[in-house]
Amino acid sequence: MKKKKCFNCKKLLDVSLFYKNKSRSIGIGAWCKECTREYNRSYCKKPEVKAKIQEYNQRSDVKKHRRRYMKIYRNRPEVKKRFKEYYNKPRMKLKRKEYRNRPEVKAKRKEYLKRPEVKARKKEIYQKNKKNIKKVIRAHKKRDPEKIKEAKRKYYQNHKFESLQRIREWERKN
């Protein structure tokens, strides 16, 4: 294996430990990967550089371009597949569940769903996909009726007070 001395740490290292750099005659960087990484890390941590990066990321044209690129990227079949696999990992599912169940997240979501424009959009989406949604629910019910029964029972146990209150309120009105 070919070895090369890093200009920064002065260690004699395997060439695979250097980044490729086409602008240099030997085709690899002067610093080893570790030194380059370390340099980039400390460079990005400088307040003035941090501010510059932030400013760049906030630019509307940059955002727009990035959004457009992400859309194209995420729609690539192999990327879609990878994302799906990632999101369906049990560990990720659990993580999402834990996040959703955090009281502050729950409260925020409740507030969000109360917003009239969100409600309207939800209704619109439901109207548009009514058939499909009903189909999915039906399939879900068929797949595991016991599980659903159990979930309903648990929900009732946890929301007993609220449901009783709702029933009482309804009775008062009628």
Applying CB under 5 A, the residues found at the interface with Zn ion are: 6, 8-9, 32, 35
Name the minimum Å distance from CB 36 to Zn ion.
8
Give the count of beta carbons closer than 10 Å to the beta carbon of residue 30: 16
* 11 vs 64, beta carbon nearer Zn ion: 11
Name the minimum Å distance from CB 25 to Zn ion.
19
* 11 vs 100, beta carbon nearer Zn ion: 11
* 10 vs 125, beta carbon nearer Zn ion: 10
How does 38-61 read in b/e, with b if 16+ C-beta sit within 10 Å? Answer: eeeeeeeeeeeeeeeeeeeeeeee
Are 5 and 17 in contact by the 8 Å Cβ rule? The answer is: no
Give the count of beta carbons closer than 10 Å to the beta carbon of residue 35: 20
Name the minimum Å distance from CB 43 to Zn ion.
15
Name the minimum Å distance from CB 13 to Zn ion.
7
CA distance 76 to 72: 7
* 8 vs 21, beta carbon nearer Zn ion: 8
